[in-house]
Structure 1
Amino acid sequence: MHMAGVNDLQIHYTLTGPEDGTPVVFANSLGTDLRLWDPVLPLLPEGLRILRFDKRGHGLSDAPGAPYSMGALITDIERLMDHLGLRDAIFVGLSIGGMIAQGLAAKRLDLVRAMVLSNTAAGIGTREMWAERIAMVEAGGPEAILDGTMQRWFSQPFHDHPDFPGWRNMFLRTPPQGWTGCAAAIAGTDFISSTSGLRLPTLAIAGDKDGSTPPDLVFETAGLIPGAQTALIRGAGHLPCVEKPEDYARILTGFLKARGA
């Protein structure tokens, strides 16, 4: 366990691998912590310098009062990477993590030399949709939106998987102000213009059963970046790194090796 003081917050992170390894940063989704990547990491090539972190309001990081701005979330990881001396990294972001990736690349291209946009988009949902869900969580906690979230996150067969209760519990234990704070950040974000200006190697990954960011939405965002690659993982919902870790790791490994990792 490691903590770093950034942006007047304590951010929880793990940094593993050789100091001279290719830096790879993983940013998780709304309602999950850095353990999201546990199924995939053992399947990746050796020798990577891997940074995972809990964004504000999640995991062991501080959970200030909501709402949060996307700019604040981007600055959190920007300052964490500066604190750790990580530059020229390959940034892997899922859902809100992918939005953070886009924003960081637009702001600090010295920190991001390539990115993986997993189950994400330049804009996700509508302000009205997020306002409704925020109100529900404020009134009843994460449990108020649990069933719908699990349907969007996972394909139906995975609901019978022995690991499913763990992911359900992870979502339920997200601090309400952490969930609503980050949801407000998503609601206020439209990166179409800034992402259209990005020129860096990009891979977009989608799950064909994703009820939160369907493949068409993910690939539409990929189309904003010249030369971006796309990959579809079948039989997976919003968290394909959980449902199909072998497929996810194979696709990610190919991208990493093409970048010299």
Structure 2
Amino acid sequence: MTLETFTAIRGIYHGYRPPAPGAPTLVFANSLGTDLRVWDRVVQLLPTEWGLLRQDKRGHGLSIAADTLDIETMASDVATLLDHYGITDFIGIGLSVGGLIMQRLALRHPQAMRKLVLADTAAKIGTPDIWNPRIDAVRANGVASISDAILARWFAPGYETTEDFAMWRAMLERTPDEGYAQVCAAIRDADYTADLARITQPTLVIAGAQDASTPPDLVRATAEKIPNSRFVEIDAAGHLPCVEQPKRFVELLSSHVTN
């Protein structure tokens, strides 16, 4: 078994595991306020011969921040890693803002991206009336000042009583304030609704049934605009079903990848 190798390329911190011959490569993009470890529970359940590429967005985790940031730049960072490893055949998997990133890569690399998985995301997420106060609060008082409200939207009711909850709070609150604010602004300014009909990849669209950040109806509406898509809700999960229900997430992912 080949383990992931963690390193940085042009300031983008990432982990890579090459696939065995004939096995697929999965490329992950994370949600706002998380780093590549948000996929740990999924990765542990995947076949060991499958290839993996996951990375920290700019201003998150160990990746170097940028002066300015938008969705196109974050998609270009992933493309840099694809080029570095010579990955020309992959499945794109995006969670929340990572879903916006993967929507762009699906259109930029229609031959290389074989299939697409979008989780708890949409083509347009929120409005300036939602994002601007959050950006102002983070820049004035830091991510920790809004963490209670954010965490309440991340998880299904009851998860806050688990031992793991403090770990996810720590991940969120240790996100650099400006990096978090920049990604908020990137989400605010993105609207790819008109491009959904151009996505040609077979697409699995997942929503946590208790997601308060991107509610299931919003995610379902996104799926309905993608020509070859399937929508599935995961019970007992909020905005991060890969954390709360990793076995179910992997069941759906594996079926989509192999069929």
TM-score w.r.t. the length of structure 2 is 0.95
Tell me the alpha carbon deviations over residues 160-197 of structure 1, each in whole angstroms, 9 at most, x when there is no partner: 11111001100000001110111111000001111221
1:39 is paired with a residue whose SS is: helix
For the aligned residues, what is the CA RMSD?
1.1
Q: Give the Cα separation in 2 of the matches to 1:151 and 1:18.
A: 37
- 2:186 corresponds to which residue? 185
User: What SS is found at the alignment partner of 2:44?
Assistant: helix
The aligned residue for residue 23 of structure 1 is 25
**What is the CA deviation profile of residues 104-161 of structure 1, one whole-angstrom value per residue up to 9, with x for unaligned ones?**
1112213312110000000000022111100000011101211110110011211111
Contact 2:19 2:25 in 1 (8 A): no
d(CA) in 2 for partners of 1:207, 1:34: 19
- Aligned equivalent of 2:198: 197
Distance in 2 (CA, whole Å) between partners of 1:135 and 1:238 is: 23
Question: More deviation in 133-142 or 107-116?
Answer: 107-116
Identity of aligned residues (%): 43
- Larger deviation, residues 199-208 vs 16-25: 16-25
CA separation of 1:52 and 1:248: change in aligned 2, threshold 3 A: same
Between the aligned partners of 1:49 and 1:183, the Cα distance in structure 2 is 30
Distance 1:135 1:89 in 2: 38
Residue 88 of structure 2 corresponds to which residue in structure 1? 87
Give the match for residue 35 of structure 2.
33
Distance 2:199 2:41 in 1: 30
Could you tell me which runs of 5 or more consecutive residues in structure 1 were left unpaired when the two chains were aligned.
none
Other-structure match for 1:42: 44
Q: Which residue of 2 aligns with 1:162?
A: 163
TM-fit CA distance, 1:69: 1.3
What's the TM-score, normalizing by structure 1?
A: 0.94
What secondary structure sits across from 1:174 in the alignment?
Answer: coil
Indicate if the aligned counterparts of 2:20 and 2:49 stay in contact, CA closer than 8 A: no
Amino acid aligned to 1:35:
R
Maintained 8 Å contact 2:27/2:91 = yes
1:190 and 1:18 map into 2 onto residues whose CA distance is 34
Does the CA contact (< 8 Å) of 1:27 and 1:52 recur in 2?
Answer: yes
Structure-to-structure mapping, 1:101-112, within 5 angstroms:
101-112=102-113
Query: Per-residue deviation at 1:17?
Result: 4.1
**What is the CA–CA distance in structure 2 between the aligned matches of 1:188 and 1:111, rounded to whole Å?**
27
Is there any run of 5+ residues in structure 2 with no aligned partner, and where?
1-5
Question: CA shift at 1:46, angstroms?
Answer: 3.0
